Amino acid sequence: MDTMDNLQPEPYDLLGVGLGPFNLSLAALADQVSGLSSLFCEARAEFSWHPGMLVDGARMQVPFLADLVSLVDPTNPWSFLNYLRQQQRLFPFYFAERFQLTRREYDHYCRWAAERLLNCRFDTAVTALHWSAEEELFRVETSAGPFRARNVVLGVGTRPAYPEPFAPLRGNPRIWHSADYLAKRHSLAGARDITVVGSGQSGAEVFLDLLRTRGTDGTRLRWLTRTRALAPMEYSKLGLEHFTPDYTRYFHTLAPAVRDRLVQSQWQLHKAASAETLAEIHDHLYERTIGRPIDADPVEIIPGTAVTETLAGPCGGFELLCRHPDSGTEHTVRTDAVVLATGYRAERPAALDPIAELIDWDEQGRYRVDLDHRIATGPRLSGGLYVQNAELHTHGVGTPDLGLGAHRAAVILNAVAGKTVHQLPERAAWTSFAPPTATTVLPRPQERNRAATPTR
């Protein structure tokens, strides 16, 4: 018997790679399933959710019910309400009347669950996944030793996206991503001109925080984005039905090219800033210009402008070569520091390299993912390989949304268990996204009239 068998006589039914909110949701739901063994491995020493953006007062964009479990099983002990009960904060939360949590409280809630779930293991980096055709099992190499599993779910999260025009100066201490905002905000102390690039929620929160902390010391603050308008996130009740399982099922039926076009056109559903944050920015600017001209303060908000190239400035700082697509004009912005609030993108983990040839990649090198969130593989790999938050191209705008996290985890859990562990709703939206399956073509009014006219 080899060392791996000595360490783990029985393979896990489910092994998770990474512990962000989505795999933590799956761990919480799996914890309550009798007879199902699971282990979730995380390289970091503790749970951490976007620590660079835990800005004071920043709120979530989803209601508190979008916790780890409630939208699937509100009786689950890992719910946010039970967290409040354990923290003796139910009454304070009740009186606070908060539907959206602060980011700091959501992070603390997730830490509370991660530290208590017995199937969560930190300081355990998954370094390689192998497939054993003889055993029909995954052999998982980790920094804490090897494991075996019948099913694996990838929940490694996304990585900060750096636009190509900024690539030549990546690593410069005065150009960095908003993911590091709190850790690196001190590096802006000597900057007299600061540019925030990106119009999503992170960009809005960074710009607002700079207005509050640097708005009175004469520093020029600039918010620049290629998006043509600082439009708010779609938050109407019917608009939010795009974040239901119904829309996910519809989106999955579309041709890949159509899906790609839709994701790009639906930016206001998943990439915009909240109306509340935009209103706070406006209110702040309004208050500080009372009794003075609007342009008295060194503040610029410039939408519809793309940065095409970034150069080191001749006297320090940077030169951002910009283009205004609508007018075709070009200009140069000189600034001392840049915060890139340019979003995140999914990346393939290196641990997949040993089985990469067994995965059925699409034409763009992305996963092909079925409705159960299982990655398509060749016939030699018969185990279940699942993914969370890397299937925007197959499942639509709800993929990164925390409101669908518990539902997706339940779908994966049902598939892994081979039975209905959680009964999920057949319909969750009033909107019918797909056209009717069959249409009765009625004759035109004039045709009906002719048909009713007696002939000689």
pLDDT tens across 251-275, in order? 999 999 999 999 999 999 989 999 9
Which amino acid, 199? S
User: Does 9 score more than 90 pLDDT?
Assistant: no
In the beta sheet, which residues pair with residue 40?
A: 16, 120
d(CA 403, CA 405): 6
Judged against a pLDDT cut of 50, whether residue 374 lies above it is answered with yes
Mean pLDDT of 367-374: 98
Averaged pLDDT, 237-259: 96
pLDDT at 445: 60
Please report which confidence band the pLDDT of residue 5 belongs to, taking 50, 70 and 90 as the band edges. very low
Q: Which class for 266: exposed (0-12), middle (13-18), buried (19 or more C-beta within 10 A)?
A: middle
Q: What's the pTM?
A: 0.91
What does the alpha-carbon distance between residue 404 and residue 386 come to, in Å, rounded to a whole number?
16
Give the count of alpha carbons within 13 A of 49, CB side only.
Answer: 21
Strand (E) or helix (H) holding 401: none
Task: For the beta carbon of residue 23, count every other beta carbon within 10 angstroms.
Answer: 28
Give the pLDDT mean for 88-101: 96
Identify the CA nearest to 306 among candidates 110, 163, 422.
163
| Lowest-confidence segment of 227-231, 246-250, 286-290, 312-316 by average pLDDT | 312-316
> φ and ψ at 361, to 5 degrees?
-75, 150
Check residue 314 and give its pLDDT: 84
The per-residue pLDDT for 296 is: 84
Read off the pLDDT of each residue in 53-72 and give the average, rounded to a whole number.
94
pLDDT over 90 (residue 144): yes
Which pLDDT band holds residue 6 (cuts at 50, 70, 90)?
Answer: very low
The two three-digit tokens of residue 408, written as one number: 């997706």
Chain segment 292-338, per-residue pLDDT in tens? 998 888 999 999 999 999 999 888 899 999 999 999 999 999 999 99
Confidence class for position 215, pLDDT limits 50, 70, 90: confident
pLDDT at 27 over 90: yes
pLDDT digits (tens, 9 = 90+) for 401-414: 999 999 999 999 99
Exposure of 369 in the CB half-sphere (CA atoms within 13 A): 27
Least confident of 11-15, 85-89, 92-96, 211-215: 211-215
What mean pLDDT comes out for the span 164-184?
Answer: 95
Alpha-carbon radius of gyration of the chain? 25
- Alpha helix stretches (DSSP H) within 217-311: 245-252, 256-265, 267-270, 275-288
Residue 454, pLDDT above cutoff 60: no
pLDDT score for 456: 41
Tokens (6 digits) for 231: 């439009």
What DSSP element (H or E) covers 337? strand 337-340
* Phi and psi at residue 239, to the nearest 5°: -60, -35
Report long-range pairs for 161-170 (Cβ below 8 Å, ≥24 apart): 161/342, 161/343, 161/344, 161/345, 162/340, 162/342, 163/197, 163/307, 163/340, 163/342, 165/307, 165/308, 165/309, 165/310, 165/321, 166/307, 166/310, 166/338, 166/340, 168/310, 168/311, 169/310, 169/312, 169/318
For residues 233-256, average pLDDT: 95
CA distance 145 to 87: 35
List of long-range contacts for 138-145, beta carbons under 8 Å, 24+ apart: 138/15, 138/383, 138/385, 139/4, 140/15, 140/41, 141/351, 142/41, 143/43, 144/41, 145/7
Q: Is the separation of the CB atoms in 332 and 320 below 8 Å?
A: yes
